[in-house]
Amino acid sequence: MKLITFRTKKGYGLGAVVEDHVLDLNETLGSDLSMLGLLDMGAKGMKKAGEAVKEAEENLASGKLKGLMKLSEVSLAAPIPRTKKNVVCMGLNYAEHVKEGGSDRPLPPHPVFFTKPPTSITGPYDPVVYNRAVERLDYEVELAFVIGKEGKYIPKDEALNHVAGYTVLQDISARTLQRQHNQWYRGKSQDTFAPMGPYLVTPDEVGDPQKLDLWCKVNGETRQKANTSDMIFDVKTIISTLSDGITLEVGDVFATGTPSGVGAAHPLGLLKVGDLIESGVEKLGFMRNEVVSEK
């Protein structure tokens, strides 16, 4: 399934993509669930949503549009517009990206983690704000995943059973702020610095998360192009490592690092106001975010 959060006059709605339509899951299931609420229901909730999607597919095939809206007419938010905790991100998880920082730079022996706050999250088609605190704005396309089953001390061979779905995330970065502090939090955590979406795609539609192409374009020019097989630490390792002594909870969001081609090391350079960032991951869709100045 491709699950979405969409905007309504009252707030947010929960839906699923059915071809070029959106099924309103709240209306169909007779409940007022958010994405986090659906994930909290576990396998039972996913089964109900799946059954509703299957019925909608059959209805659509026979010309029945009850409970369906045109996808093109729906305003999408991030799948989880406000996470319960910080988004956990990976740094330096693609070898070629590590080399961008210096050809003699060693590969990390262990995963490198940092976080972005819930306030950094924005939608898949919302603007990225180049605010007055920022200098040297950069892009980083990433595969992200969401936890659907709580766990601690999770073995690698069981790790993917804890994933509810996958999505696209942009780790927007203020390079000057990132480098002037001894950690990356401030430079990575400005408002709108985590565009996410457009969908939360369930594992059955994704397959092996280490066999996905990902890419980023700026103003139509390809800046990043790689495959998740190039990760130094794969999704299983990330989950197993982080759950070693830390309880991973339902709804936790994790980003898995970016490949080479970031603006700080690219001939075409960093982002500026008016640029259009397009970010995509195979099977997960793509986002479009315009860089705007702070009002």
- Residue-wise pLDDT for 37-57, tens only, equals 999 999 999 999 999 999 999
Give, as one character, the DSSP assignment of residue 85: S
Structure tokens at 272: 């500026």
Q: Which of 215, 232, 233, 230 is closest to 277 using CA atoms?
A: 215
Give, as one character, the DSSP assignment of residue 57: H
- Which residue type sits at 245? G
- Distance of alpha carbon 92 from alpha carbon 115, whole angstroms: 14
Taking only Cα atoms into account, the Rg of the chain, rounded to an integer number of angstroms, comes to 19
Where do we find the tokens 């993509």? 17
- Distance of alpha carbon 25 from alpha carbon 38, whole angstroms: 10
- Which residue type sits at 115? T
pLDDT recorded at residue 224: 98
125-143 pLDDT tens trace: 999 999 999 999 999 999 9
pTM confidence score? 0.97
Give, as one character, the DSSP assignment of residue 249: -
**Count H helices, E strands: the chain?**
8, 18
Query: Which residues, 6+ apart, have CB-to-CB distance to 16 below 8 Å?
Result: 1, 2, 3, 4, 22, 23, 25, 49, 52, 53, 56
Rounded to the nearest angstrom, the gap between the alpha carbon of residue 271 and the centroid of all alpha carbons in its chain is 20
Instruction: With beta carbons less than 8 A apart as the criterion, state whether 116 and 194 touch.
Output: yes
- Distance of alpha carbon 79 from alpha carbon 33, whole angstroms: 13
- Distance of alpha carbon 194 from alpha carbon 216, whole angstroms: 14
34: how many CB neighbours lie within 10 A of its CB?
18
Q: How is the chain split into domains, by residue range?
A: 2-73, 87-293
80: how many CB neighbours lie within 10 A of its CB?
23
CA dihedral 287, 20, 23, 117 (to 10 degrees): 0
Which stretches in the chain have pLDDT values below 70?
Answer: none
CATH architecture of 87-293: Alpha-Beta Complex (3.90)
Give, as one character, the DSSP assignment of residue 21: E
